[in-house]
Amino acid sequence: MSTKPDHDDDAAQDKADGSLESLGLTRERAPRHIAVIMDGNGRWAQRRDLPRIEGHRRGVASVRRTVEEAARLKLEQLTLYCLSSENWKRPQHELDFLMHLLQQYMIEERQTIMEQGVVVETIGRRDGIPQEVQTEIDKTIQMSADNGGMTLCLAINYGARDELVDAVRRVVRDVQAGKLSSYAVDEDAISSRLYTAGMPDPDLLIRTAGEMRISNYLLWQISYAELWITQKCWPDFEESDLHQAIRDFADRDRRFGGLSEDF
């Protein structure tokens, strides 16, 4: 039997399994939930004289790397913006390819997801998503539901305004049905009717490809998220970028409208 104190064993274990402490961070300083706007696939391809869809294909490799690293670091949740409610304006062949990639990802990653104990969930409206893609998504959601690890939330046909409209409709319905008093409509009444009900709010929002905008992503939930924007396009996003974002987050002074501890 080891004579070392338990916490030493824990620290050694943390280093070995690549948890956040191995980045030199305490869990209190680290984000629980990271949300990502995976942007710049098209530009990545255009700069290489490749068709836009090639950028999306390469983007899937970044998704794989990021999910695996986030799970290894034992984040509580990673939410990835896969398709916005505005992306339907794109050419049909690009949308078809995105749907194909989504379906393939669900099939090919299932085993890794199960090995890493990841729980898959989705947010967004299901309309417009082909039935065969929905079937593979649902299969992965069901299979992974009892896993105990990180939640991987995929925002598919997601729009924050749609989500708020849907939440308000649910509030109205519940008030009309007598399940909710109009006087009881507060923040909780709304957040518990969002697609993200029960999930922690993102602490850190990462956007690749340099745009300084939110593009209708998680408007309610990111009220106090720290923003981290990189010029790198999504297919070039690597584990080291995720580490840098987390380290920078740990150095931020989150005041939530109050005063910093130094004052």
84 binds ligand IPE (CB under 6 A): yes
Distance separating alpha carbons of residues 100 and 178, to the nearest angstrom:
44
Distance separating alpha carbons of residues 67 and 62, to the nearest angstrom:
8
**Residue 94 contacts by C-beta under 8 Å, 6 or more apart in sequence?**
52, 53, 56
Q: Which is nearer to Mg ion, 39 or 163 (CB)?
A: 39
With CB under 6 A as the contact rule, which of the stretches 14-22, 35-43, 102-110, 240-248 interacts with ligand IPE?
Answer: 35-43
83 binds ligand IPE (CB under 6 A): yes
225 binds ligand IPE (CB under 6 A): no
- Least CB distance from residue 211 to Mg ion, whole Å? 7
104 binds ligand IPE (CB under 6 A): no
Residues in the chain, total: 263
Helices 239-251 and 52-72 sit at what angle, rounded to 10 degrees?
60
Helix (H) or strand (E) holding 169, with range, is helix 160-176
Count residues contacting ligand IPE (CB under 6 A)? 17
Considering only 35, 70, 209, 218, the residue that binds ligand IPE (CB under 6 A) is 209
Sign of CA dihedral 59, 61, 64, 65: negative
Helices 131-144 and 92-108 sit at what angle, rounded to 10 degrees?
30
DSSP code at position 228: E
- Least CB distance from residue 97 to ligand IPE, whole Å? 10
Distance separating alpha carbons of residues 6 and 93, to the nearest angstrom:
56
With CB under 6 A as the contact rule, which of the stretches 5-13, 31-39, 124-132, 133-141 interacts with ligand IPE?
Answer: 31-39
Considering only 31, 35, 39, 152, the residue that binds ligand IPE (CB under 6 A) is 39
Number of Cβ within 10 Å of residue 121's Cβ equals: 19
39 catalytically annotated: yes
226 binds Mg ion (CB under 5 A): no
* Contact between residue 122 and residue 137 where contact means Cβ atoms under 8 Å apart: yes
With CB under 5 A as the contact rule, which of the stretches 33-41, 66-74, 133-141, 146-154 interacts with Mg ion?
Answer: 33-41
Q: Which is nearer to ligand IPE, 52 or 193 (CB)?
A: 52
Distance separating alpha carbons of residues 206 and 245, to the nearest angstrom:
8
Q: Which residue is nearest to ligand IPE (CB)?
A: 42
211 binds ligand IPE (CB under 6 A): yes
- The distance in angstroms from the start CA to the end CA of the chain is 49
**Set 9, 41, 87, 253: catalytic member:** 87
- Least CB distance from residue 128 to ligand IPE, whole Å? 14
- Least CB distance from residue 217 to ligand IPE, whole Å? 7
* Contact between residue 195 and residue 223 where contact means Cβ atoms under 8 Å apart: no
Residues labelled as active-site residues: 39, 87
Binding site for ligand IPE (CB under 6 A): 37-43, 81-84, 87, 98, 209, 211, 213, 215
